[in-house]
């Protein structure tokens, strides 16, 4: 498999970021409907395994994109 282009990396970053934002919005919405305290909602978001995994992937993709953009 060949190395992804900068555009492919950016597309992946954009899609993952949008997915992460949707998840956060959904958890917040559900928490508010259940009248959960804001601290509890924040705690759930910080400990959510899927969100943690997405953040790690985003960090890796951003680092990979930055490496590609560095002058040789």
Give residue 1's pLDDT band: very low, low, confident or very high (50, 70, 90): low
Helix 49-69 and helix 38-47, axial crossing angle in degrees, nearest 10:
60
Q: Assess if residue 28 is contained within a domain.
A: yes
pLDDT tens per residue across span 20-62: 999 999 999 999 999 999 999 999 999 999 999 999 999 999 9
Domain count, the chain: 1
Q: Assess if residue 57 is contained within a domain.
A: yes
Tell me the C-alpha distance between 30 and 41, whole Å: 9
Q: Assess if residue 72 is contained within a domain.
A: no
Q: Assess if residue 16 is contained within a domain.
A: yes
Boundaries of domain holding 62: 6-66
Helix 38-47 and helix 6-33, axial crossing angle in degrees, nearest 10:
140
Contact (CB, 8 A) for 18 and 54 = no
Give residue 4's pLDDT band: very low, low, confident or very high (50, 70, 90): confident
Q: Assess if residue 71 is contained within a domain.
A: no
Tell me the C-alpha distance between 19 and 53, whole Å: 12
Q: Assess if residue 60 is contained within a domain.
A: yes
Q: Assess if residue 54 is contained within a domain.
A: yes
Q: Assess if residue 1 is contained within a domain.
A: no
């Amino acid at each position: 498999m060949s190395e992804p282009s900068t555009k492919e990396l950016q597309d992946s970053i954009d899609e993952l970021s949008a997915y992460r934002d949707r998840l956060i919005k959904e958890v917040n919405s559900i928490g508010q409907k259940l009248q959960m305290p804001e601290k509890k909602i924040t705690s759930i978001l910080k400990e959510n395994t899927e969100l943690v995994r997405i953040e790690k992937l985003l960090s890796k993709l951003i680092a990979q994109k930055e490496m590609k953009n560095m002058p040789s």
